[in-house]
Amino acid sequence: MLRHTMTEVKASQAPAAALNGKVVVVTGASSGIGRAIALACARAGAAVATTYRSNRAGAESVMAEVQAMGRETLAVPADIAVEADITRLATALRERFGRVDAWVNNAGADILTGGGARLSRLEKLDLLLSVDLRGTMLASWAAVAMMRAQPAGGVIINMSWDGVLQGMQGEDPELFAAAKGGVLSFSKALARSVAPAVRVNVIGPGWIETAFGEGADSDFRRRIARSIPLARWGTPEDVAGAAVFLASDAATYITGQLILVNGGDVM
């Protein structure tokens, strides 16, 4: 477990922001979308806890940036598909912060780049179901247990995919549809189960410039951009903006909803 102490800042330097005084957890925040969400929440005034599975250097980099903003921060190594790791994470959060106001389940399996792209179809399916679906469910249940005990309740934000609404041709999209479609359906059921104490919403990113997009050839990137009404790929920061909104008090009458961050590619 990695720890940093909150830096002292003058009251006049602390911005009045959407998440001032809140505690936000972001799983899988050592790179990509998770990193952007963690940093955006810190900029919005939140103390930020993150998890990482193997990228300790990335987690330490995020912590350093959060600390530089004067925010309290904590990083916990955890495989979110393992129940014991989720239990250990919840214990660390209670000990360090005493509560969690927003829990963002961003951690997911990469089957598109590196070693993940070389897995068999069944290996990819098992990995996605284990991490993206089972992990999201385990972490959501842990978040609910904490938030129901808090007077102010809390917010859970889960990550799905815009493609679950209309489908996409191809073997990898079929696999993503199974796992991310499960995340969406689970989240809607959970939102009904835990209301009104806890709000549960879902973000559905589209074509986002993460490792897969950055590594794609230029012709493919241009073709995708031309197909999107807003004429560009999204950035991790685009997704982070939606997460900050859903975690904030500006979204207190929103639950059980899917927010698409995709430039209008799926409407």
Q: What does the pLDDT read at residue 14?
A: 37
- What global pTM score does this model have? 0.92
DSSP 231: -
User: Is the link from the previous residue into 15 a cis peptide, with omega within 30 of 0?
Assistant: no
Q: What does the pLDDT read at residue 211?
A: 80
Q: What does the pLDDT read at residue 1?
A: 60
In the structure encoding, which two tokens stand for residue 63, read together?
A: 């912590």
Length of the chain: 267
Q: What does the pLDDT read at residue 7?
A: 37
Q: What does the pLDDT read at residue 16?
A: 44
In the structure encoding, which two tokens stand for residue 29, read together?
A: 């925040």
Angstrom distance (rounded) from CA 162 to CA 247: 20
Q: What does the pLDDT read at residue 11?
A: 34
Q: What does the pLDDT read at residue 212?
A: 84
Q: Select from 75, 97, 74, 86 the least CA-distant residue to 23.
A: 97
Q: What does the pLDDT read at residue 3?
A: 52
DSSP states of 117-150? GGS-HHHHHHHHIIIIIIIHHHHHHHHHHHHTTS
Q: Which fold has domain 2-6+17-261?
A: Rossmann fold (3.40.50)
Q: What does the pLDDT read at residue 2?
A: 59
DSSP states of 145-212? HHHTTSTT-EEEEEE--GGGGT--SSHHHHHHHHHHHHHHHHHHHHHHHHTTTEEEEEEEE-SB-SHH
Q: Is 34 in contact with 66 (CB distance < 8 Å)?
A: no
Q: Tell me the pLDDT of the chain (267 aa) as tens digits.
A: 655 443 333 333 333 489 999 999 999 999 999 999 999 999 999 999 999 999 999 999 999 999 999 999 999 999 999 999 999 999 999 999 999 999 999 999 999 999 999 999 999 999 999 999 999 999 999 999 999 999 999 999 999 999 999 999 999 999 999 999 999 999 999 999 999 999 999 999 999 998 887 778 889 999 999 999 999 999 999 999 999 999 999 999 999 999 999 999 999
DSSP 261: E
Q: What does the pLDDT read at residue 89?
A: 97
The set of residues, in sequence order, having a beta carbon less than 8 Å from that of 172 and lying 6+ positions away, is 111, 112, 124
Task: Give the type of residue at 71.
Answer: R
- Pairing, β 198-205 against β 258-261: parallel
**What's the distance, CA 136 to chain centroid?**
10
List the domain boundaries for the chain: 2-6+17-261
